[in-house]
């Protein structure tokens, strides 16, 4: 069964290139050079993919794209935009639009046909994915272990004394480590000084 593709493109040469490239593929092409006419045809044709030029009379590609995605039946329809070589893009409009690809003109017709088929099959495969199973009679919330309520410890004199004791131990341990390190440094420096003194004493003799 052939996939149905709506092409809304104001350029006659681009339309012909697409029709020739898609002729030997599993794609049935419906071409329009006016945005409003393409919009009216969408619910009638029920396309698997829509190729839109940004610049179209009556309704531009952005408007058609938003219309397509606003229809529940076409939320998973492949949507590809065709952009002119020096055509500016309205990124604000694109940022809120779920599209699949932007193809630069002039395009390779055969690669475009392959791209459209791939996007259609990806969408259909996604639509066939099974939903997450739900155990009958058991809600997701009920299947989760009940979290234990957090209880703040009571601040008592005993708790405060224990904290002071821990702090004292930490301070003593830190002081011991510092003293040990200082002794090692002093001892090392003293040995160096003593060696120098002995060497100088020998030289004087």
Average pLDDT per 10 consecutive residues for the chain, totaling 205 residues: 91 88 87 96 96 95 96 95 92 92 90 94 80 48 46 57 69 68 71 77 72
Phi, psi (5° rounding) for residue 49?
-150, 150
Structure tokens at 164: 């002071």
Domain hosting 194: range is 157-205
**Nearby residues of 20 by Cβ (< 8 Å), 6 or more positions away:** 109
Q: Establish if 141 belongs to a structural domain.
A: no
pLDDT of residue 37: 97
Tokens representing residue 47 in the block: 């396309």
Which CATH number fits the domain that encloses residue 114?
3.40.50.2300
**pLDDT score for 143:** 46
My answer on whether 166 and 205 are in the same domain is: yes
159's tokens: 């708790």
Q: Is residue 149 part of a domain?
A: no
Which residue stretches of 86-156 are H helix?
A: 91-95, 109-128, 140-143
Q: What is the pLDDT of residue 135?
A: 47
Q: Comparing C-alpha atoms, which of 70, 90, 89 is closest to residue 79?
A: 70
Q: In 23-108, which ranges are continuous DSSP H helix?
A: 35-45, 61-70, 91-95
- pTM to 2 decimal places: 0.61
pLDDT computed for residue 130 by the predictor: 64
Calculate the dihedral angle through the C-alpha atoms of 195, 199, 202, 204, rounding to the nearest 10 degrees. Answer: -130
Given this model, what pLDDT does residue 67 score? Answer: 95
Same-domain pairing of 78 and 164:
no
């Amino acid at each position: 069964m052939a996939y149905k593709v709506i092409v809304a493109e104001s350029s006659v040469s681009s339309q012909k290139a697409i029709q020739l490239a898609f002729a030997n593929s599993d794609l049935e092409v419906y071409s329009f050079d006016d945005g409003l006419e393409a919009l009216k045809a969408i619910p009638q044709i029920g396309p698997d993919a829509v190729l839109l030029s940004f610049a179209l009379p009556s309704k531009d590609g952005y408007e058609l794209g938003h219309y397509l995605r606003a229809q529940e039946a076409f939320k998973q329809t492949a949507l590809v935009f065709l952009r002119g070589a020096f055509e500016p893009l309205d990124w604000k409009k694109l940022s809120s639009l779920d599209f699949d690809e932007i193809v630069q003109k002039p395009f390779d017709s055969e690669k475009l046909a392959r791209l459209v088929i791939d996007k259609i099959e990806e969408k259909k495969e996604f639509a066939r994915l099974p939903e997450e199973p739900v155990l009958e009679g058991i809600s997701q919330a009920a299947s989760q272990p009940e979290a234990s309520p957090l209880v703040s410890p009571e601040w008592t004199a005993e708790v405060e004394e224990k904290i002071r004791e821990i702090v004292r131990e930490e301070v003593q341990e830190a002081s011991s480590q510092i003293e040990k390190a200082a002794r090692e440094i002093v001892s090392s420096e003293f040995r160096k000084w003593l060696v120098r003194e002995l060497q100088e004493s020998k030289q004087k003799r």
